[in-house]
Structure 1
Amino acid sequence: MRNFTFSLILIATSFFAFSFNSLTATAKSNTDITNPVVISVTVDAASINAFFKKYPKLKKYQKDVEDIYSAKGYKSIWYDDKHITEFGALLYQKVNVLKDQGIEAKMPYKEVIDQAFNESDNIEPPQIDTELLLTNMYVFYASNVYSGVDPATLKKIGWYLPAKTLSYSRILDSLIVDSSRLNEDEYLLFAQYYKLQDILKKYRQIEKDGLWQKITIDSATYRDMRPDTTSPAIKQIRQRLYVLGDLKQDSKSDFYDQELMDGVMNYKKRHGLTLNYIINRDHINQMNEPISKRIKTIMLNMERCRWIPTKLAKAKEYVMVNIPSFRLYYVKNDKIDLASDIFVGNRLSETVIFSGNMDRIVFSPYWNVPNSIVQNELKLQMANNKNYLAENNMEWNGGKVRQKPGPKNSLGLVKFMFPNPNDIYMHDTPAKSLFQFEKRTFSHGCINVKEARELALHILKDDPDWPVEKIDKAMSGEKETTCMLKSKIPVYIGYFTCWVQENGDVHFYADVYGRDESLDKLLYSSDAVSMKD
């Protein structure tokens, strides 16, 4: 394919190479300047089979490619009468900047596709190859950006929230009609994804500008820093909080003043830390984690957002639990109606990531003690103290142990039931002091809710059959009372170690179950990346 030389004499008989905005490598025109012809690409089953024999690294996309062409009557997708379409050029541009999506996968045979968009390259693939390469590039892009890890793998890593179901053919139709949806589309990706994408851009710029400076302390003489402290480290902390946006300005002072106190409080809120003005060694160590680790955390949570069906967040009413943040949110009519601290399962009894439908609230509940707890914990207690059950308000019931209703019941005064095979539910707790801890992994798997009474009140506030007085009486601890909900409420238990709030503040949380590390190996290890190629 020879290069074009544009002149006034040839304008009437030549076709210009397509150029799209900032796209530096343009799609080459497939017409001859001395003998213009209409491009015709014929796609059929035979040409598709021949293509995948020629490009075997793309074999895993063959079924999706065949489905796309079948739905389109085997017509060309990427060529108009003259050259590669605008949408094809835009998709090529998006694949060139996949890093902006937090994706490190490489498109197989990308160098061949480059030839079709490079004006200075005298070699280009046959039109049928380019056509099918671009379709494979689309499937590669859509599977990485819109789908992420496949459903079978999600189950293996313990993620049991509803899986996404996508039709690449229907998505392609919608993108061709409105190519701006490639940049942002909340029908394709969970809205949180785009917020994380903005934060990823911010943190990469901080890294590029070299603004993530290590905070230095003398380990031998270090003491916790409090307001009115003067220290060289104070100046460094101030600079860091300014870079992160916790401070509006950097006075460069080494004195711990009111301004820094406010910045420290903002930082601690964003990291789920105890809200006080003390800066201890653990806080310094956390601030000194490489920014590359923060960037990877953002990328991992973008991946999790790819798994979320967008319709989940569009429900009129739902409860969302985020395990790493130890927080629960009751959302109604697109607004957070109630937020509460929680504690979750310990490492031996991790809270499962799944969803269910809350169908009832049980006031003053019995606690049917799981047999595993009876065998591993209560048997020894009962052997040492024959009155142990009575002293703890427990009794035998049908060969099993249960704890009777009351203020000391392990489930507290109310539980929220959403039937599931894991026997996990949300409930109140008498152990209110445990909510003072930053890391709250204390339960046997269930979700203990600090504001349990308030959650019941909010859920039932529009139900005339359950006024506040009736709820309080049912929570008196005298007898178990069940309220069947008139409408089931979706409950989503998720795992996000990075989350952007409505005001744009990004929050980071400890990876309490080590799931970031596992997902990192799955997605970004050298073996994982090579498998994607």
Structure 2
Amino acid sequence: MKNKQLFGALLVVFLIGFSLISWHCAKKEDSKDERLAGLKSRFTNEDITLPFDSTQVEVFYAKYPKLVLYKKQTEAFYRKNQFQFIWFDKKGRKETADVIYNKINNLFEEGVQAKIPYKGVLDALFQKESTKPNIETELLLTNYYFYYTNKVLQGIDDSKTEEMGWYLPRKKQSYVNYLDSLLLDPKLMDKKEQLIPQYYKLKAILHKYREIEKSGGWKAITVPEDFKALNAGDSSATVAQIRTRLFLTGDIDKDSKSAIYDESLQQAVLKYKRRNGFTEDKVILPKHITEMNVPISDRIKTIIVNMERCRWIATDITKSKEFIVVNIPSYQLTYFKEGKAALVSNVVVGNALNKTVIFSGMMSYIVFSPYWNVPKSIIEKEIKPGMARNKNYLAQHNMEWNKGYVRQKPGPKNSLGLVKFLFPNNNSIYLHDTPSKGLFNEEKRAFSHGCIRVAKPKELANLILKDDPNWSPEKIEEAMNAGKEKWCTLKQKIPVYIGYFTAWVDDDGTINFYKDVYERDNNLASILVEE
């Protein structure tokens, strides 16, 4: 009897223990299922949840060292996804893998000139179907994804752009997180919102110019040794060459082969000059012929260089209600309001020794009838030598000492003119008026010590303060000519972007080329080839 009781008690204990163990295992299995379900939810129902050995990442980079640049991003992505295969599902290699492969094969269209590492290995992968997950294929595809985003969407490193004097805000984008979205929707890769609109306009022109190059490009225009100028109505063999040249780039609709400098060609010359930074008149000088003779290969290089610069620009800069853009090579300022150009003005920028810095700031103040606080460098290099030669130098220039520095008093002869626009920055750069109005008519306008002189300062002030009832056009005019400094604090700060683009496409698809005033293009082009 005692044995039966003992056996019964042991049986109860066993059943309770078994139930607890079963409950614990079930809970553990539920937890695992929930984790796996979480992984699956990010992708599709066809995805597999097969992890791979994380130590294989090191093995991969030992075999493919040229891809080590993307190791940090690759490891971050797989840690986030618990080292699961992401390029394969139950059917085999995913459609997204083909998207990446096609993008890599078409980097040429994106203006990328760098040699693709291990391209033969990549090609071999896609010459056969892949039905089973393969760790080497998996990691290759991830690395080529980061290779593509680096070359096409991100551009060269921040450190290199800063070495070239580019301090505009760079685009901030996690391409680790973007890959998750791309795996769900491969079509995201073709969306044009990934870069600023100018990039895609330049890309279209790149295709057009490469087609011209394939057809033989354009021949150099020859002129007589004593060539000086061509005027409207002149007849010359050179005129026929110019007509053919401008027909190739779309400046004239038809190449009649005529050697007479007629009205249709005159209009084409005006268009050509407009988009190449020349004074718009009908006289053709040797410098215009020289510009037309720039090889198409050089034009293509310029387009590619400026596509790269577009990669550095944050895509949200154009979303501001109003903003100001200064393009140094075009010597032009554009004030945008509600997405449209409200004002375009010629500007004067820094000379080769006092380059205007490429950066951005927030315009906060407008100063009417400003003092000019002369920079210490100008005091040492110009003011003091002038004073040594002429004891009345300061008085003659309407200047005075102020707290150990020299400043120029307000007035029409003040070097800052009648108004300045401040966006506080460490570069001591701002926009301002000038008494030297004649310089705005020059083709090359790099004359300043670094600040930016504006040809239409009153118009700019009126537009900025248009919605401020305290500042009517009459009050602005009065303040500009009061001879007494007066500050206006803007109710809404305005972003100001100072950029450097030697090629720019207008909204109508017209390509403009500008002189590389600070000689930056060749340096960037060489880096892009090395990359």
Q: TM-score, normalised by structure 2?
A: 0.89
Amino acid at match of 2:160: T
Q: Specify the structure having the higher radius of gyration (Cα).
A: 2
Equivalents in 1 of 2:514, 2:450: separation in Å?
19
Q: Does residue 162 of the first structure (1) align with residue 165 of the second (2)? A: no
SS at match of 2:192: coil
* Displacement after TM superposition at 1:119 (Å): 3.6
| 1:88 partnered with 2:97 | yes
Counterpart of 2:7 in structure 1 is none
Structure 1 pair 211–293 and aligned structure 2 pair: CA distance change class (3 A): closer
Which sections of structure 2, spanning at least 5 residues, go unmatched?
1-46
**Which residue does the alignment assign to 1:15?**
none
1:271 to partner: Cα distance = 0.6
For 1:304, the equivalent position in structure 2 comes to 309
- Paired residue type of 2:354: S
- Which of 486, 508, 527 is the aligned partner of 1:481? 486
Query: Which of 188, 195, 198 pairs up with 2:201?
Result: 195
Q: In the comparison of the two structures, how many residue pairs are matched?
A: 486
1:221–1:340 Cα change, 3 Å? same
Which one of 145, 149, 156 corresponds to residue 149 of structure 1?
Answer: 156
1:97, CA displacement in angstroms?
1.3
- C-alpha displacement at 1:40, in angstroms? 7.8
For residues 352 and 326 of structure 1, what CA distance do their matches in structure 2 show? 14
**In the aligned structure 1, how far is the partner of 2:491 from the partner of 2:479?**
18
CA 1:303 to 1:331, structure 2 compared with 1: closer, same or farther past 3 Å? Answer: same
1:131 aligns with 2:138: yes
- 2:85–2:133 Cα contact (<8 Å) kept: no
SS of alignment partner, residue 92 of structure 2:
coil
From 72, 77, 81, the equivalent of 1:68 is 77
The residue type equivalent to 2:201 in the other structure is: K
- 1:100-499 paired onto structure 2 within 5 Å: 100-119=109-128, 127-186=134-193, 188-218=194-224, 220-499=225-504
Mapped contact 2:112–2:151 kept (Cα < 8 A): yes
CA contact (8 A) 2:418 2:434 kept: yes
Q: Please say if 1:51 is aligned against 2:60.
A: yes
**Cα displacement string for residues 128-155 of structure 1 (whole angstroms, at most 9, x for unaligned residues):** 1011100000000001111111111111
Q: Compute the displacement of 1:49 (Å).
A: 2.1
Corresponding residue SS for 2:493 = strand
1:184 to partner: Cα distance: 3.5
SS at the partner of 2:89? coil
Between the aligned partners of 2:287 and 2:482, the Cα distance in structure 1 is 42
165-174 or 450-459, which deviates more: 165-174
Deviation at 1:240, TM superposition (A): 1.3
**Conservation of the 8 A alpha-carbon contact between 1:317 and 1:490:** yes
2:524 is matched with: 519
Q: What is the rounded CA distance, in whole Å, between the counterparts of 2:112 and 2:404 in structure 1?
A: 54
Please state how far the C-alpha of 1:125 moved relative to its aligned partner.
11
Q: SS where residue 420 of structure 2 aligns?
A: strand
**What letter matches 1:488 in structure 2?**
K
Distance in 2, Cα, partners of 1:380 & 1:241: 51
Distance in 2 (alpha carbons) for counterparts of 1:337 and 1:66: 48
Provide Cα deviations, 1:4-45, integer angstroms capped at 9, x if missing partner.
Answer: xxxxxxxxxxxxxxxxxxxxxxxxxxxxxxxxxx98863342
Residues 345 and 444 in structure 1, CA contact (< 8 A), matched pair in contact too = yes
Aligned partner of 1:5 in structure 2 is none
Letter in 2 for 1:104: Q
Shift of 1:290: 0.8
Aligned-residue offset at 1:521: 2.2
RMSD, aligned CA: 1.8
Please list the CA deviations of residues 358-396 of structure 1 after superposition, one character each: whole Å capped at 9, or x if unmatched: 000000000001111111011121111111111111111
More helix per residue: 2
Say which SS state the counterpart of residue 160 (structure 1) adopts. Answer: coil
